[in-house]
Amino acid sequence: MNLVELLSHPNENGILEFVLGVLFILSIYHLFLFFQNKDKAYLYYSLYTFLTIFGYICLAKNNITSQIIAPIQSSLEKFDVYSKFLYNAMYFVFAFEFVGISSKSKKWTQYIFYPLIFIVFVGTVAQVISLITQNNSYIFNTFHLFFIPAIFVPTIIGYIALFKFSFIGKSYIIWGSFILFISSMTGVLLHHVLGSDETNEIRFTVFYIGLILENICFSLAIGYKHKLVLEQNQKREQLYLQKMLNSQEEERIRIAKELHDGIVQKIGTVILCMRNNVKNLSEEKRTTIVSELSYINQDLRNVSHRMMPKALTDLGLKFALMDLLESSFQYTDIGFEFNDFNVDHRFDSKIEHNLYRISQELIQNIIKHSKAKRVSFLLLKNKTNVLLKVEDDGVGFPVLELKKGVGLDNIQTRATLLQGKVSIESNLEKGTIITVKIPWK
């Protein structure tokens, strides 16, 4: 079969089946997207592709598709022209729902949709008359004599609106609609020039090519918009999480200051008074009271230090981690080591504070759950990232079966806010390795 024969018989040689298959996949896929995202643009696009399939499936000849629809083909043929009214109208509904013209101007929305309603109404009347009289010439003539010139009205208005306002992804819609319009008009001209000779159906090939190109543009537009929506949702989520963590950090700082400047100072004053002024108590009793107050005072200092570590503020992450490890494991049986590589300067305060809080979470999990004997912390900086690697020789856990707790969720959240990643390697009785990678440039 040469190229001319291939293009002249698209309804028989697989071209139409390919087009219908692509449209069917797009219709189902965007229907799922509608149920997932509740965006009407997905629903209207799905209906548009479905109605297009409905309008052209009856043209299939001598192939699997024609065998499948054979029992209802005669019924489908009665509506094939009317379906062109419907899918063209649905095309406009989808396109302008996608770009959101109703939110830009109600006036322009009315300019576009009132002519569409009238066109579909006339087509419906012609279809009803054709069904009653059993004569398809009414709907056929209405399409060629009324629809083709009438559809120019919403088309021109639509293009004016697209160029008048700024829309997300409007270039895709403009190019897609322009391609479809040119291919449709070319098909109509070829029909009038070549006639309805079924041995030469190249006009359909032209339209099918335009239809595929148009839907590629529309799919790219939907994908682009979906990407923007996801990015906006992620930014909103990250902003919310960042505000939440900032408020938690501010509250820690406030409480730490109140503990240090208020309660700790007052207890210190009481201790001095006890040492110097309590003469009626025995030496043993006075010593006990002073000792207890000293323990309380030290505990409060420890709490204040954990909530607002002075080493982190004054000296940086490396020294704060060394101090944290020392204070956290000093009353446990867990041995630890800390190593750093190429950490020769301070990081951004957000990176330091979040990696410090992540380390606190990891240490807490190790003490509570790991049953480890030895823990290793490694802080490393390369050209683009700072890495925190924490390894223990504890009991481990099955990572795939892990149900994230609040601690691990906080770790992941803090890393995500800094565009970082968390990886977990663990096996039962073989310990755990957790690596946090944060970009610092």
CATH of the domain at 357: 3.30.565.10
Say if CB 134 and CB 126 are below 8 A apart: no
Q: Which of 215, 238, 261 is the last residue of a domain?
A: 238
Residue 146 sits in the same domain as residue 12: yes
In terms of average pLDDT, the best of 41-55, 165-179, 263-277 is 41-55
Determine the pLDDT at residue 336. 92
The answer to whether position 343 is within a domain reads yes
How far, in Å, CA of 277 to CA of 292, rounded?
A: 17
How far, in Å, CA of 435 to CA of 424, rounded?
A: 7
Confidence bin at 300 (pLDDT 50/70/90): low
Residue 217 sits in the same domain as residue 102: yes
Amino acid identity, residue 354?
A: N
Domain limits for position 341: 311-439
How far, in Å, CA of 314 to CA of 246, rounded?
A: 19
- Residues of 194-231 as b/e, b for ≥16 C-beta within 10 angstroms? eeeeeeebbbbbbbbbbbbbbbbbbbebbeebbeeeee
Residue 177 sits in the same domain as residue 79: yes
The answer to whether position 284 is within a domain reads no
Q: Which of 349, 322, 316, 337 is nearest to 390 (CA)?
A: 337
Residue 127 sits in the same domain as residue 230: yes
Both structure tokens of 115: 């002519």
The answer to whether position 290 is within a domain reads no
Examine the pLDDT at 303 and tell me if it is beyond 70: no
Residue 315 sits in the same domain as residue 400: yes
Q: Which of 238, 265, 283 is the last residue of a domain?
A: 238
The answer to whether position 271 is within a domain reads no
Greatest Cα pair distance, the chain, in angstroms, is: 122
How far, in Å, CA of 255 to CA of 423, rounded?
A: 33
How far, in Å, CA of 57 to CA of 20, rounded?
A: 7
Q: Which SS3 state, helix, strand or coil, does residue 300 take?
A: helix
Residue 88 sits in the same domain as residue 185: yes
Say if CB 169 and CB 218 are below 8 A apart: no
Q: Which of 191, 211, 238 is the last residue of a domain?
A: 238
How far, in Å, CA of 299 to CA of 197, rounded?
A: 95
How far, in Å, CA of 296 to CA of 68, rounded?
A: 84
Q: Which residues are CB-neighbours of 386 under 8 A, at least 6 positions away?
A: 343, 347, 351, 355, 379, 380, 437, 438, 440
The answer to whether position 175 is within a domain reads yes
Whether the model pTM is above 0.75: no
Examine the pLDDT at 379 and tell me if it is beyond 90: yes
The answer to whether position 298 is within a domain reads no
**For the segment 15-30, what is each residue's pLDDT rounded down to a tens digit?**
888 888 889 998 998 8
Residue 11 sits in the same domain as residue 133: yes
Examine the pLDDT at 182 and tell me if it is beyond 60: yes
Q: What is the chain's mean pLDDT, rounded? A: 80
The mean per-residue pLDDT over the stretch 182-201 comes to 66
The answer to whether position 302 is within a domain reads no
The mean per-residue pLDDT over the stretch 356-372 comes to 88
In terms of average pLDDT, the best of 155-164, 182-191, 243-252 is 155-164
Q: Which of 184, 189, 180, 170 is nearest to 212 (CA)?
A: 180
**Radius of gyration of the chain from its Cα atoms, rounded to whole angstroms:** 36
The answer to whether position 278 is within a domain reads no
Say if CB 221 and CB 177 are below 8 A apart: no
Number of domains in the chain: 2
Examine the pLDDT at 417 and tell me if it is beyond 90: no
